[in-house]
A and B are shown apart, each in its own frame.
Chain A
Amino acid sequence: MRSDILQSGPASSISGEYEWFFWTMVTVCTLVALGIAIVLVYSMIRFHRKRENQMGSQRQLNIPLEVSWTAIPFFAFIGMFAYGAKLYFDIERPPDNAIPIYVVGKQWMWKLQHPGGQREINELHVPINQPVKLTMTSQDVIHSFYVPSFRIKQDVLPDRYTSIWFEATRPGKYHLFCAEYCGTKHSGMIGWVYAMEPHDYQAWLSDGGAEGSLASMGQKWFHQFACANCHHFDSAGRCPDLRNLFGKPVELSTGETVVADEGYIRESILDPRAKIVNGFQDIMPSFKGQISEEQVIDLISFIKAIGPQSNIEQHTSPGSVPQEYGNQKGIAGPGTVSISGSKPETR
């Protein structure tokens, strides 16, 4: 199947379970509604008033009936709740090996970035049978990333990250919609997701015209914004060591522990005083207003990429980030742990 033909209908790894649950609910609800309709139609015929002054039966209570039509729906509802919650967890928790893709929404377009540095507008190319995790933020108002065929949707908020994941199962071209009203051209904030066979995807990646992987761009910003002046890659500097940081717990000066996920790193760049690492001084300046959301994403990709063996010398010049940081597997050097097991503050 070709990836440029419009497909509809469910097409992701969770959509099978979604469809099963949805149509089970339709069946159960239809049966109950039919039951009510049958009683009403039967009554309509059987209990039609025959004399002008006729009075109905005066029955007005049946305790077993009241108890059963309270208890049965109650337990059925608990069942619906439980299955819905299970499905939600599946939709919300990305697998560890997901390809990280970054999304920036703005009035009225989607900007998407692959770890290899390929940038797209209103289009997203992904391989089938491989999970993809989107980390998203907005430059202005609230948007919502919605791919109906994948049964996923997530609001995209300004000034923080939210994330969602999917795994396409059928090659094809799928609708991408903005689902949260965002102003005049809301209905024009649409695009396409192209799900491709893995080899087509590899071919697309190599034609992608990337300036360099996100991590290598991040490395460039790391030096340009003079981050490297303080954040030495050793454990004796004035600032926290960023090697092997991503996905690890960080102890704060307040005694709390947080996981160093995308949201944490973004906040630490834009609002460094919000969370101070235990044992360090509050000396970092804020980069709010000086750095774009795309540059923050590059820096995060860079920090993800620097593993425990890295040293500052290997990273002194742009472009020296090893190739594996920028390939489609995406995540990181050795030892980096994905955050998917826990629920980060980005949700």
Chain B
Amino acid sequence: MQPALALVPKNYLTEKQGLLSWFFTTDHKRIAILYTASITALFFLGGFFALLMRLELLTPETNLVQPETYNKLFTMHGIIMVWFFLIPSIPNTLGNFFIPMVIGAKDLAFPKINLLSWYIFMLGAAVTIYALFRGGVDTGWTFYTPFSTSYSTTYVVAAAIGILIAGFSSIMTGLNFIATIHKMRAPGLTWYRLPIFVWSMYATSLILVLATPVLAVTLLMVAVERLAQVGIFDPALGGDPVLFQHMFWFYSHPAVYIMVLPGMAVVSEIIPAFARKPLFGYKAVAYSSMAIAVLGFLVWGHHMFVAGTSVYSAMTFSLLSYFVAVPSAIKVFNWTATIYGGALSWDTPMLYAVGFIGLFTIGGMTGLFLAALGLDVHVTDTYFVIAHFHYIMVGGTVMAYLGGVHYWWPKISGKMYPEGLAKLSAMAVFLGFNLTFFPQFILGYLGMPRRYAAYPPEFHMLNVLSTAGASILGVGYVMPLCYLLWSWKYGKEAEPNPWRATGLEWKTPSPPPTHNFEITPVVTWNAYDYKAQQEELQLVP
């Protein structure tokens, strides 16, 4: 076969060779690959911390690690997973790769800024990992004051600076996406013809740009307070510790939507593709993304119902939190309605997407418990909250990320992944996830507080179940890493459109050429319009 290679047109992977061609690339697809490699490594680092925590919690006493170490483990697990995996996960990998492709563009609006954002991200990760290897941080990922500013003896400033630096990468990515989506859509691709993927990424980008600066300010103030004792947050110096919580959650609650909106974006592509049916209630889903982005800024106080704020402020935030649940409910119902009446095929991406609906629904519904003021008092700061946000972020975002990686793998690598193994790993992830985190809802209801290195013996059995689940989940995550890498070299060649999906990214070869499209596409149809593209896709009703 070797001689035939010369006849194959060059694609983005083969056009240039050598490591330098990767480190100096401005191709959004190559930068997406750089990001994927980085966040995969960071995901397994964060996962390793989680594994150690689950092993420590296998027995009620502290025996594997000392409490000091345990506290550093959950802190670094949170910091790595939130800022160095979940927030960049879908936007910087699948978003980077596919936003230009699904809108028919050659690249992002600012290719060099895109590369710069990766370097800045890596610098932030390096500084954070430096803090980790110098001895770690023990404040929790939430950096609550005055513990973080005046009491912790660990590397708080270094970790805060690392996160601060990574924040600039988020802002650049957000700006780049907003500019790209506004200015670089293919001719005929109006806003209401855009796939929901783009709508959701647009909503995500707005939050990235508007919320991240607040995090930067907050972390800077923590660092300044710690270094110079200026008295912003520490009451002993005249500051107010609850002010920190307001500022932190003003960023960190919208950040939850930075993490989950891209998951919704991916699922909204996978479901129509495997049901061969337009997304039900397109406009309702699109507006829901925007509503989540706006309302998400108005609910931060629901993290503070027992923190010492007034009952009236608590009532306001509770009501607004219920409002933000409405668009999420609308989305779940529309995805379900899309599946109903489709021509369904249960390939791996669809398994992940349906898993996402189930787990996100449970995560969202337990959020209704936490938004109810009186119920929150008992279950907040317990394992109930841990289970709730892992259902959203791991059950939701990570499932969607893996679904998206499988869905677009043929386009990214030009190869098919092994379907049987992939289905097996999707099952392992789903079962392992539920076994890990469902017992934690019960633990929280029974009153086990979070961030405890040791716990009373009556919580033992449920913790054993949770650790057992985590080991299955770990296997479920390692499997795709292995078989996807294997398939990159040995997998079956992929057609341009193996799923017969409707997006523009499927109308160009797999893997795509460097400039994505030989001819700029002209769009005359709505998103997911199988009828309009019926002949081209060789489908029959």
Contacts and interface: CB of A to CB of B under 8 A. Distances in A.
B308 A149 contact: no
Contacts of A180: 144, 381
B346 A44 contact: yes
A154 interface: yes
Contacts of B138: 183-184
Nearest to A50: B343
Interface string B359-372: 00110011011011
Interface in A12-60: 17-18, 21-22, 25, 29, 32-33, 36-37, 39-40, 42-44, 47-51, 53-60
A95 interface: no
Contacts of A155: 306-308
Contacts of A162: 308
B171 interface: no
A344 to B, nearest CB: 10
A188 interface: yes
Interface in B339-364: 339-346, 354, 357-358, 361-362
Contact of A78 (B67, B322, B341, B458): B322
A25, A42, A88: most-surrounded residue (chain B CB, <10 A): A88
A334 interface: no
A179 B449 contact: yes
A341 interface: no
Contact of B343 (A32, A55, A84, A157): A55
A181 B147 contact: yes
A21 B372 contact: yes
Contacts of B340: 39, 42-43, 47
B535 to A, nearest CB: 11
Nearest to A157: B308
Nearest to A67: B284
Interface string B104-147: 00000000000000000000000000000000001010101011
A149 B447 CA distance: 8
Contact of A69 (B330, B342, B447, B534): B330
Nearest to A54: B343
A7 B41 CA distance: 46
A29 B368 contact: yes
A48, A157, A179, A343: most-surrounded residue (chain B CB, <10 A): A179
Contacts, number: 277
Nearest to A84: B372
Interface stretch (B271-279, B419-427, B478-486): B271-279
B242 A157 contact: yes
B36 to A, nearest CB: 30
Contacts of A25: 368-369, 372, 375
A252 interface: no
Q: How large is the interface on A (under 10, 10 to 19, 20 to 34, 35 or more residues)?
A: 35 or more
A56 B341 contact: yes
A84 B371 contact: yes
A54 B539 CA distance: 6
Contacts of B284: 66, 70
A87 B315 contact: no
Contacts of A154: 306, 308
Contacts of A346: 308
A182 B147 contact: yes
Contact of B530 (A21, A29, A58, A91): A58
B325 A53 contact: no
A280 interface: no
A304 to B, nearest CB: 22
B341 A59 contact: yes
B540 interface: yes
Given A59-B341, A144-B381, A343 B310 contact: yes
A41 to B, nearest CB: 10
Given A39-B339, A184-B71, A89 B311 contact: yes
A56 B235 contact: no
A56 B541 CA distance: 6
A53 B539 contact: yes
Nearest to B346: A44
B291 to A, nearest CB: 11
Contact of B235 (A58, A62, A160, A178): A160
B449 A146 contact: yes
**Ranked 5 nearest A-B pairs via Cβ:** A148-B447, A87-B374, A84-B372, A159-B235, A88-B373
20 contacts: A18-B378, A25-B368, A48-B344, A54-B541, A55-B343, A56-B341, A59-B277, A61-B280, A61-B281, A77-B325, A84-B318, A88-B373, A151-B377, A152-B378, A153-B306, A155-B308, A182-B147, A183-B138, A347-B310, A347-B311
Given A25-B372, A47-B339, A186-B452, 8 more contacts: A59-B280, A62-B281, A77-B322, A78-B322, A81-B318, A87-B374, A177-B447, A187-B453
